[in-house]
Structure 1
Amino acid sequence: MNSPLNRRQGGPKLTPIAALLASTAFTLALAPAAHAQAQAAAAAAPAASAPEAAAAASFGSAGLERIVVTATSQAKSKMRSSVSVTDIDQEQVQNLGARSEAEVLLLIPGIRTEPTAGPGGNSNISVRGLPISSGGSKYVQLQEDGLPTVQFGDMNFGNNDYWIRFDNNVESIQTLRGGSSSVFASQAPGAVINYISKTGKNKGGSIGLSQGLNFRETRFDGDYGNRLAPDLYFHVGGYYRQGEGARKSTPNSLLGYQIKGNITKEFNGGKGYFRVNFKALNEHAPTTPQTFVRATQSGNKISGFSKAAGYDGTRDSQYSIYNSTLPGIDPLTRQLTNTSLVDGITVDTQALGFEFRNELSNGFTVDNKFRLTKASGAFQAQFWDVKTLSNMLSGFGAGATARFYNGPRTGQAATATTLQTGLVSQGAAINVTLPDMGILVNDFSVAKQFKTGFGSVDLRGGFYLSRQNVVQRWSISERIMEVGRNGAVLDVFDASGAALTTAGLTGYNNQWGGCCARDVDASFTTQAPYLGLNFVAGQLDIDAGVRRESFNASGSYASGSSRPFDVDGNGTITGAERNVYLINQGTPRGLVDYTIHYNNYSLGANYRLNNDLSVFVRTSKGNRAIADRLLFSANIDAVTGQLTSGGKDAALAPVKQSELGLRYRGNTSWGNYGLSVTYFKSTTNEFDYDQTRQDNPNLPNYQGPKLNVLGFKADGIELETAGSVGNLGLNVNVVYSKETITKNLGDPSQVGKTSGGVPKLRYTISPTYSLGDLTLGATIRGQGKVYADNNNVTTIDGHYVVSAFVTYDFGGGLIGSLKVNNLLDKVYPTGGGGFVGGSTSIFGAGMETGRTINASVRYQF
């Protein structure tokens, strides 16, 4: 690994690259680089009519006048676009007090995510009924200034939300759902979420301090932008934070920084620009998997959620001072290891890129965006699989007992009364290193407008290239520990007193049916020519696009097999040494070497009935190529690296979508308002690999079929509104969707049912009110009832969470704020779940985080 940040080094240190990029001298030396992405796009867009421009100017609260620049053929206002787009500005995110990228995305209608994973990422992000079958963000791409941070959102232990952070460098977040994302983005048929950076074209900056009042987190933010000359400007900023995050973990389990910046040089009378941008992100942050609370079941309904005795499932975590390191053996080199289990998700990223745009004298416009990212990291954390002590011991045979391996009761017998909560965990202790997750990406296009007797035609043709590396080493073992605050590690002994475990380990690299001694060295290349056409005739806008992608997978991979192995070298095989998964170095590695080709398309039309009312319709088909999740499956011939019979179908997930939408805005004597309504329909079929699946409960240790073929369909309505009356502003977003499983080869009985944890109704209500220098506001985020699992028998009631804020402008640029998340401190699961093994009162699930209070002060200049 490339020296990821380590909390035991006394704080983060700038790498040589980060230090260079952060220096003012380097920033000035870069000079050449221009408009913010949105500003450049706005300049390129056809001018609105005078009435439309006036109406747009008077209706800023709805945002319908904003220019769509994300994954489209031509930049133009939302009122003229046949795509569903939402913008979130810096102030909205600041007011929400979002503590992770998942919480930021909760503001976007149509996007579904569970904000339980923590500040380091590892959230599951989906849109419009497209599935989250095995984790990650399979159909949703996160971008910075129009280019992906990583190419695939669902890479094993490399989800796209690991590699991006919201801070003061972001001007706004623009999200395009469905539609033209199939043509003007790669591997993202569901949605593109684009973080658009400030450029410094408008002078200003800020410094700020944020402090958790009932949780341990301190954060410093700063940014500044200015003009160095009339045609030369820059912006630079970043943050540093330390603490634990919103849940109790261990000191400085959250620690790191980000530095971002750009410098822009305009030329050709402002018609062209060259921009250089950079980013350094170095951080480790806790990640929290499922936790547990008390609950009751009456008939087919689970309710009555409350905190369990001795453990607060809304604030506590699985982190423990007695389980802070993991003894192990590298499956490939056989070196003994002792790795952290409290660093969580570590990322170490340095990115350097440029943007170029110029309008030529012959009417052609040339655009190019390039970024090279060096990225490494690790995933090192304990996951819980909560169960009763008796349930756990039953798996080790008659007469098995448990003792405390460490902690205040070292050597004592573990019983239901000596355990903190009476519960234990037999879960995954994860040590996955990511030496190389870097990406190279370039998007080049040429555009020209043609005038005809019927209207104007804009053509845009381009070529996209990306190369995503996936280099990983997995060493994931099963470990037994006490469930509770700072739980101790437990060892198990048979009836004769012989040790069945070692330091709580039931084996080495043996988790989830022995899936987890792995070595991957692969890269995935996407090449795609694309063509877009936009036709404008009066009030009618028609746009169409087609994309031809070639996807190449290359590299090698290896997995381990079980054997007895003398790990400590003392000449005897005991405990966990009886079940050690190691990679046979003399066995040929599996190869991956195949290429697939596929087509995407999108066609849409928008008609403006007047300057304040427009309707649109669109149909699209996109594909998502499966990357590293296809490895280790029968779909690849491990000898040749080619796809096997039927492997081509498994290697591609097609997504079809249809949309019908309406946008309306009004300006009256009492205020202004606007709304967007979209009806959508989507279908997909996908190959799915999930190493944690155990479809056959009669087989021990997760030996069920981990491979599956699934199909899904969904239809629903997205409603997005905004308005203001005097000093009162109100945003209301509502999504209602019916999502259905259409195929499940692993369990055909689930066909026709809804995935567990998926609500039909989701909503956010965000009022704000200003009283002079004082602003009050809240966000009410809610959802309807869900099924506990895919069997659709047991239900969990819907719930809502209220968050609130107050800000005060002291004058002179000084602003103070107080933000409270989960104001009412409600206890709710965010999705589905179930009672833990051996219990009818302890419910395991991802839980809403309890009340957190944060105070901040910011000086703007």
Structure 2
Amino acid sequence: MSRSTGLARGGLASLLLAGSMPALAQAEANLESSAAAEEMAPNSDEEIIVTGRAGAGERTKLETSYAVTTLENETLRSRAASSVTETLKSVPGFWVEASGGEGSGNVRARGIPVDGFGSINLLEDGLPVQHDPSLGYLNADQAFRVDESIERIEVVRGGPASIFTSNAPGGVINFITKTPGDTLSGNARILYGPTADLFRFDGWVGVPIADGWGLGIGGFYRNEDGVRDPGYTGNKGGQIRADLTGRLDQGYVRLSYKRLDDRAIFYTGIPLTKDAQGDIVGIAGFDPQYDTTASRSTAFLNLRSAFGPLSFDNTDGSRIRLDQYSALVDYDLPGGWKLSNRSRYRESETVRNGVYPASISTAAAFVAGRQAALLAAFPGANRTILRYADTGEAFDIAGQNGNGLVFQNSARPVAVDEREFLNDFRVAWTFDLFGQRHDIAIGFYYAHIRETFRRYSATTLQDVSGDSRLLDLIAVNAAGQVVGSASENGVLRYGSEFANGAGNSDTYALYLSDEWQVTPQLRIDAGLRQEWIDTQGTQEGTATVNLGDRATLADDQVLTGSGIFTPFDRSFDKLGFTVGANWQFSRNAGLFARYTSAFRLPSVGSFITSATAQPVTQDIKMWEAGFKYSSRLLSLYATAFNTDFGSFSIGNFVFNPATGGYTQQTEYADTRTYGIELEGTLRPVKWLDLTVNGTLQNPEFRNLQFTELVNGAPVQRDYFGNQLLRVPKLALRVTPAVTLLDGRFRAQMDVEHYARRFSDAANTSALPAYTVINASARFDLTPQISLWAYGDNLTNSIGLTEGNPRAGELTSGQANDLLFIGRPILGRSFRLAVDFRF
């Protein structure tokens, strides 16, 4: 598709930087009159890029001086990704973990070793979905869903992303929504998944009103048990959004409202073992592809606490209720000037409930480890019995469920309420000076955040089965009468965790950029960002109490609030900058190079569970250089990069099976990752194309040295040169596709390969390499109706994305265990869809 087609097709992306409608019309006319336009590369290379820059002019993907990946609506449709993280698997330089379900994924950009969305930010039409995308237990992907309202996605890796967006040292993902055209148009999709009992409806309609104004309404609703079926509906809910857009003579204005009311199950680790060859396999009684530790028995728990009964509803999973209001304005002024302002206000209430496996052992070992303390606590007892909490049925220690194993898990309800207001104002000016073109911009960003955070955990005892049930360890006397119990209704310890805090922050940022066209072929781009943040709030301390009113040990060490609140009032600031050059030595090819000094400031989330914490400003240095080539035969983008990350903190959060509680340790290290990103598409004939996305990198610790207590004795550790946590050295995705019947039929296959990783800094707990194959096919029944079929993980691979974080991320406590906990990708599944267009 030519540039003119891309602009005419619409979407807010074109309006954001294209300026007035007359300018758009002129651009279309110029391109349509050019015979060379028909020889240019596919539309993803020629569409206007609006992410990662702030000037008044236009830039195509081929003209940018940084690495950018575009995902068109048709690309998204061809994979029907179930989550934000799933959509990013085809982005080179990103290591994506989507095994947790529709929310709470992990994305690591260019080896920056932080979980969640701590290295990148999600944008919606140029503004953050959530100012801090990596708040504790509140990742930005929990607050965002992909549906038919999305026109396309632009992903900027490194480069200038951190200059124009807070909390984005590794890049930004900009979800660009659809814009109504001059005629009534729309699309709808019905998706059915027999494997997961999935039913989903997506839709969007654009209605022209009058005088350049249009109304867009879209959203989705879905109901799904889940590929890993917990015995209840795992995913249920949806969202609706309405956008009123006015295309003015000199710009545009958009007013938007979005309501998200959704809940998604959070998949945690599962029990696994190794066969005689050392390959990872499932355990008898537990299917590694389709079972989960969440179950009907743990769906509803009545937990005790020092402040009264607490209801744990695991059917809520990660539940969010969000209202979002946005106002976006662009306006062109005479003399090459342009003003823009984007504002967003959001209110959200999030509950994140989950059952987190903490340790696994044989039932015999568990009973032996607890028996002496239990009998000592209840002198009248002479033996212990393990039985089911719901029926009283005895548990066969030797071989219940075909395995004789038990879990200790954490039933953890977390509640996070957030209010935030964001505003980004900028002025851009394009002018000539001494015969050279400058495209400068200056902007001011402000964000006010208010957050409350509450967390409580209880340690549960469960069997290892596909429908995991709660167990009690009881003490009986010679007559077989119950004298006491280590647990109560399957709970080994009430109050194994407690947190209560509230705070707010104000972020101010001033940024400046210049795109200096030195010659027709050479452009120098530079920018800087000065950012300040002020945080204030309080965090309640903890106390251990003995509820002591029942014959159980479960309520003897309950963590609760102490009633003493510690205030925090901290401020931070930092200056970041970037400078790059782009040499477009031919119409179809170019080179770029860039250096960026990026950062990530602490936020209110750094203190809300520890008011006395001493977080450091994350300091990231990035070097990158790339080659770009685009023709009808081949599109190729190759980028070499080096990322130095300073003062990376590893929070070693280790579960203690003996107490049912947690111990914490924090160490700091520097890291370095260098590598090559590659994305390219080969089109040898009209009906065949081959797309390759890959990252080859060396992610390593630079100076991780500390002292660790082992059996009470200090041991010196030095992990210099070890591979970073869970980041593979090779991630490769190859997609062959055929298009037949004059475009009516298209089929593609994604072959993904990920090299070996490690779940701990010591590199003792390996996550083996794995390959997964997905496929999809589309048939256009009519110009308005298309049929789709999808198959995911066709080989039913057990691909581990992470181990057990609660076993320790410095040195894993399960590294050499035959029984261990890990989180693999979902098992084989199939889906069918039908699309309607008008």
Same fold (TM > 0.5): yes
Higher relative contact order structure (alpha carbons within 8 Å, sequence separation ≥ 6): 1
Are the counterparts in 1 of residues 764 and 815 from structure 2 also a CA contact under 8 Å? Answer: no
* Partner residue, 2:135: 155
Distance 1:112 1:546 in 2: 27
Are the counterparts in 1 of residues 350 and 415 from structure 2 also a CA contact under 8 Å? Answer: yes
Matched to 1:657, the amino acid is M
* Partner residue, 2:710: none
CA deviation vs aligned residue, 1:164-201 (integer Å, no higher than 9, x gap): 11110000111001110121111111110111100112
Are the counterparts in 2 of residues 52 and 612 from structure 1 also a CA contact under 8 Å? Answer: no
Question: What is the aligned counterpart of 1:238 among 187, 196, 219?
Answer: 219
Q: Are positions 1:406 and 2:375 aligned together?
A: no
CA deviation vs aligned residue, 1:802-856 (integer Å, no higher than 9, x gap): 1111111111411111100011222232355699969954442111211100011
Alignment CA distance shift 1:752-1:35 (3 Å): closer
CA deviation vs aligned residue, 1:91-142 (integer Å, no higher than 9, x gap): 21221132222211112111111121012x111111000003xx32211111
Q: How many residues are matched?
A: 787
Matched to 1:733, the amino acid is N
* Partner residue, 1:860: 837
| Structural mapping, 1:431-446, within 5 Å | 431-434=413-416, 436-446=417-427
Q: Are positions 1:115 and 2:98 aligned together?
A: yes
Distance 2:309 2:827 in 1: 39
Secondary structure of the equivalent of 2:75? helix
Distance 1:140 1:460 in 2: 23
TM-superposed deviation, 1:387 = 2.6
Are the counterparts in 2 of residues 387 and 837 from structure 1 also a CA contact under 8 Å? Answer: no
Matched to 2:486, the amino acid is L
Alignment CA distance shift 1:688-1:326 (3 Å): farther
* Partner residue, 1:20: none
| Structural mapping, 1:474-553, within 5 Å | 474-494=455-475, 497-510=483-496, 516-537=497-518, 538-553=520-535
Are the counterparts in 2 of residues 341 and 430 from structure 1 also a CA contact under 8 Å? Answer: no
TM-superposed deviation, 1:801 = 0.7
Q: Are positions 1:275 and 2:261 aligned together?
A: no
Question: What is the aligned counterpart of 1:396 among 370, 373, 398?
Answer: 370
| Structural mapping, 1:45-64, within 5 Å | 58-61=39-42, 63-64=44-45
Question: What is the aligned counterpart of 2:828 among 851, 855, 859?
Answer: 851
* Partner residue, 2:718: 749
Q: Are positions 1:656 and 2:621 aligned together?
A: yes
Question: What is the aligned counterpart of 2:84 among 94, 101, 125?
Answer: 101
Matched to 2:731, the amino acid is R
Are the counterparts in 2 of residues 62 and 674 from structure 1 also a CA contact under 8 Å? Answer: no
Are the counterparts in 1 of residues 436 and 517 from structure 2 also a CA contact under 8 Å? Answer: yes
TM-superposed deviation, 1:62 = 6.8
Q: Are positions 1:736 and 2:714 aligned together?
A: no
Distance 1:202 1:854 in 2: 34
TM-superposed deviation, 1:202 = 6.2
Alignment CA distance shift 1:56-1:188 (3 Å): farther
TM-superposed deviation, 1:148 = 0.9
Distance 1:273 1:51 in 2: 24
Secondary structure of the equivalent of 2:334? coil
TM-superposed deviation, 1:655 = 0.9
Distance 1:707 1:582 in 2: 23
Q: Are positions 1:285 and 2:264 aligned together?
A: yes
Q: Are positions 1:614 and 2:590 aligned together?
A: yes
* Partner residue, 1:313: 288
Matched to 1:763, the amino acid is L
| Structural mapping, 1:419-818, within 5 Å | 419=401, 421-434=403-416, 436-494=417-475, 497-510=483-496, 516-537=497-518, 538-566=520-548, 571-572=549-550, 574-585=552-563, 587=564, 589-631=565-607, 637=612, 647=614, 650-667=615-632, 672-686=633-647, 688=649, 690=651, 692-693=653-654, 704-724=663-683, 725-746=685-706, 748-772=717-741, 773-787=744-758, 789-793=760-764, 795-818=766-789
TM-superposed deviation, 1:216 = 1.4
Are the counterparts in 1 of residues 501 and 608 from structure 2 also a CA contact under 8 Å? Answer: no
* Partner residue, 1:9: none
CA deviation vs aligned residue, 1:505-525 (integer Å, no higher than 9, x gap): 222221xxxxx2111111222
* Partner residue, 2:346: 373
Alignment CA distance shift 1:218-1:828 (3 Å): same
Are the counterparts in 2 of residues 236 and 260 from structure 1 also a CA contact under 8 Å? Answer: yes
Are the counterparts in 2 of residues 713 and 739 from structure 1 also a CA contact under 8 Å? Answer: yes
Matched to 1:848, the amino acid is I
CA deviation vs aligned residue, 1:27-86 (integer Å, no higher than 9, x gap): xxxxxxx96133432458997996997656544437222222113133411222111100
Q: TM-score, normalised by structure 1?
A: 0.87
TM-superposed deviation, 1:376 = 0.7
Which structure is higher in strand share?
Answer: 2
Secondary structure of the equivalent of 2:141? helix
* Partner residue, 2:108: 126
Alignment CA distance shift 1:750-1:632 (3 Å): farther
Matched to 2:197, the amino acid is R
Question: What is the aligned counterpart of 1:41 among 1, 4, 17?
Answer: 17
Matched to 1:660, the amino acid is A
Alignment CA distance shift 1:598-1:406 (3 Å): same
Q: TM-score, normalised by structure 2?
A: 0.89
Alignment CA distance shift 1:469-1:708 (3 Å): farther
TM-superposed deviation, 1:255 = 0.7
* Partner residue, 1:181: 161
* Partner residue, 2:50: 69
Alignment CA distance shift 1:771-1:625 (3 Å): same
Are the counterparts in 2 of residues 179 and 602 from structure 1 also a CA contact under 8 Å? Answer: yes
Are the counterparts in 2 of residues 540 and 605 from structure 1 also a CA contact under 8 Å? Answer: yes
Alignment CA distance shift 1:704-1:475 (3 Å): closer
Which stretch has the larger CA shift, 842-851 or 460-469? Answer: 842-851
Secondary structure of the equivalent of 1:37? helix
TM-superposed deviation, 1:666 = 2.3
Distance 1:573 1:557 in 2: 33
Alignment CA distance shift 1:767-1:52 (3 Å): farther
Are the counterparts in 2 of residues 788 and 831 from structure 1 also a CA contact under 8 Å? Answer: yes
CA deviation vs aligned residue, 1:640-687 (integer Å, no higher than 9, x gap): xxx8xxx4xx331111101111101123xxxx2110010000011235
TM-superposed deviation, 1:281 = 0.6
Matched to 2:341, the amino acid is N
TM-superposed deviation, 1:545 = 0.7
Distance 1:320 1:246 in 2: 14
Distance 1:57 1:468 in 2: 49
Secondary structure of the equivalent of 1:102? helix
Alignment CA distance shift 1:702-1:403 (3 Å): closer
TM-superposed deviation, 1:705 = 3.8
Distance 1:841 1:52 in 2: 69
* Structure 2 unaligned regions, length at least 5: 1-9, 375-383, 478-482, 708-716
Secondary structure of the equivalent of 1:576? coil
Question: What is the aligned counterpart of 1:165 among 126, 137, 145?
Answer: 145
Distance 1:216 1:484 in 2: 21
Percent identical: 23
TM-superposed deviation, 1:581 = 1.2
Are the counterparts in 2 of residues 295 and 843 from structure 1 also a CA contact under 8 Å? Answer: no
Alignment CA distance shift 1:375-1:330 (3 Å): farther
Which stretch has the larger CA shift, 76-85 or 419-428? Answer: 419-428
Question: What is the aligned counterpart of 1:387 among 351, 361, 367?
Answer: 361
Matched to 1:348, the amino acid is R
